[in-house]
């Protein structure tokens, strides 16, 4: 089938048959929005990827259980911010189960069709009484025009909400994909990143839905880093309710993945742009690698290097830091064939520095959307990841996070 896609303004309620709400339940001391509800009018096929951190939070445990018990079907997602409900023992696990049960009662669906997510401070008890009071208010506030409120309600240290949407034309029929995400610190996903929720009004069989999500996540959420930290609560959840009447099969799978990837990429880049203390979005290209895995490994090493990130923050075109990281990344590397390019300015090539180009690179680094490229001189594989600079503000935010 022929297929095209178009980026839209919108978020999780852009696809047909989804409603959302975002309210204040009093979980955050600031009184800000802290409880989000996302509901599909009909049972949706559901897929998710979760953190690989072994210090796993209660909502991740419950959501994994519910996906297994429901056979990958969901009607609702309940999300709170301001408290991670992680490392909270049996009591925290019961709170996550109660959140699902209360949501199921309001929505009128089996409890296993409710997924749960939380974000905030680790090791703090989540006040279920406040959620019991807030949930009916959120349920009453739900609407197809309330996706932006939900996107605000899942934020913690995020400086702005993250939303994205796209429309795909498959065989002359329109399918919408929308999403929202939160994340600002503790960003170095291994299967997902912080919290992201994506919806589509396409009908997608479970095997294709899971395959599509993993393909999209690998090139988006798994290709970003802010600080090299993997959270206890990371998840990306995808719901497909079929409200468009368009079914995705093998012939339209590539078009669906392209649209899904476009939405996820916008959300992922929003997370990096909103990284704690970030002032610059940095695209890291690694080429000349012996394999794709080695290219990704080196790109992540560069993107997570405090020396590289602080040099970029200070506008210092210190190519030596990039070469040093590439050389210690544990991948095939040939110094005599290596190269470093900042923007379009060559600073090191074939074993020889080009410091005469440093002023041009320094001027380029004054910008806010930057790229750095390293050629390993060891093959033909490549990888791209996104990161941000490291500022004193990052230290302040995390030094004061609990206090």
Residues with a catalytic annotation lie at 193
Collapsed DSSP state (helix, strand, coil) of residue 296: helix
- Nearest of 225, 205, 315 to residue 272 by alpha carbon: 225
Burial of 9 (0-12, 13-18, 19+ CB in 10 A): exposed
3-state secondary structure 175-233: EEEEEEEECCCCECCCCCCCEEEEEECCECCHHHHHHHHHHHHHCCHHHECCCCCECCC
**190 closest CA partner among 126, 127, 236:** 236
* Strand order across the beta sheet in which 339-342 lies: 352-353, 345-349, 339-342, 369-375, 281-289, 381-388
- The alpha carbon of 368 is separated from its chain's Cα centroid by a whole number of angstroms, namely 21
b/e string for 239-276 if b means 16 or more Cβ within 10 A? bbbbbbebbbeeebeebbbbbbbbbbbbbbbbbbbbbb
How crowded is residue 36: how many other Cβ atoms within 10 Å of its Cβ?
A: 30
Q: How far apart are CA 294 and CA 298, in angstroms?
A: 6
Residue located via tokens 């959270």: 231
Q: Which 8-state DSSP code applies to residue 52?
A: -
Q: How far apart are CA 385 and CA 368, in angstroms?
A: 16
* Entry field: residues in the chain: 403
- CA–CA gap between residue 75 and residue 111 (Å, rounded): 9
Q: Which residues pair with 313 in a beta bridge?
A: none
Cα distances from 193 to residues 221, 236, 247, in angstroms, run 6, 7, 28
């Amino acid at each position: 089938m022929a297929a095209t896609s178009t980026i839209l303004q919108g978020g999780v309620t852009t696809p047909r048959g989804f409603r959302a709400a975002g309210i204040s339940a009093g979980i955050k001391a600031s009184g800000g929005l802290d409880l989000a509800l996302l509901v599909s009018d009909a049972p949706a096929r559901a897929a998710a990827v979760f953190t690989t951190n072994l210090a796993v939070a209660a909502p991740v445990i419950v959501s994994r259980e519910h996906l297994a018990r429901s056979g990958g079907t969901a009607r609702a997602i309940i999300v709170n911010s301001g408290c991670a409900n992680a490392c909270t023992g049996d009591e925290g696990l019961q709170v996550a189960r109660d959140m699902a049960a209360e949501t199921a009662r309001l929505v009128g669906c089996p409890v296993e069709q409710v997924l749960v997510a939380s974000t905030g401070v680790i090791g703090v008890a989540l006040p279920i009484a406040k959620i019991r009071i807030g949930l009916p208010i959120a349920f009453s506030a739900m609407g197809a025009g309330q996706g932006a409120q939900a996107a605000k309600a899942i934020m913690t240290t995020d400086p702005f909400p993250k939303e994205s949407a796209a429309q795909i034309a498959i065989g002359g029929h329109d399918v919408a994909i929308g999403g929202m995400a939160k994340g600002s610190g503790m960003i170095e996903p291994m299967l997902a990143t912080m919290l992201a929720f994506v919806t589509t009004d396409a009908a997608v069989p479970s095997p294709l839905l899971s395959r599509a999500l993993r393909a999209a996540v690998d090139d988006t959420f798994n290709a970003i880093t802010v600080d090299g930290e993997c959270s206890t609560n990371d998840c990306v959840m995808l719901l497909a309710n079929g409200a468009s009447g368009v079914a995705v099969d093998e012939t339209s799978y590539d078009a669906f993945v392209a649209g899904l990837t476009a939405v996820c990429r916008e959300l992922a880049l929003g997370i990096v742009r909103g990284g704690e203390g970030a002032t610059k979005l940095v695209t890291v290209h690694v080429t000349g690698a012996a394999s794709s895995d080695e290219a990704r490994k080196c790109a992540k090493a560069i993107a997570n290097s405090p020396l590289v990130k602080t040099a970029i923050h200070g506008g210092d075109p210190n190519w030596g830091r990039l070469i040093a990281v590439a050389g210690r990344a544990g991948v095939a590397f040939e110094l005599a064939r290596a190269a470093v390019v900042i923007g379009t300015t060559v600073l090191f090539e074939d074993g020889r520095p080009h410091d005469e180009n440093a002023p041009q690179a320094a001027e380029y680094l004054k910008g806010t959307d930057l790229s750095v490229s390293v050629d390993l001189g060891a093959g033909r594989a490549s990888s791209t990841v996104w990161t941000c600079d490291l500022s004193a503000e990052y230290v302040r935010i995390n030094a004061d996070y609990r206090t």
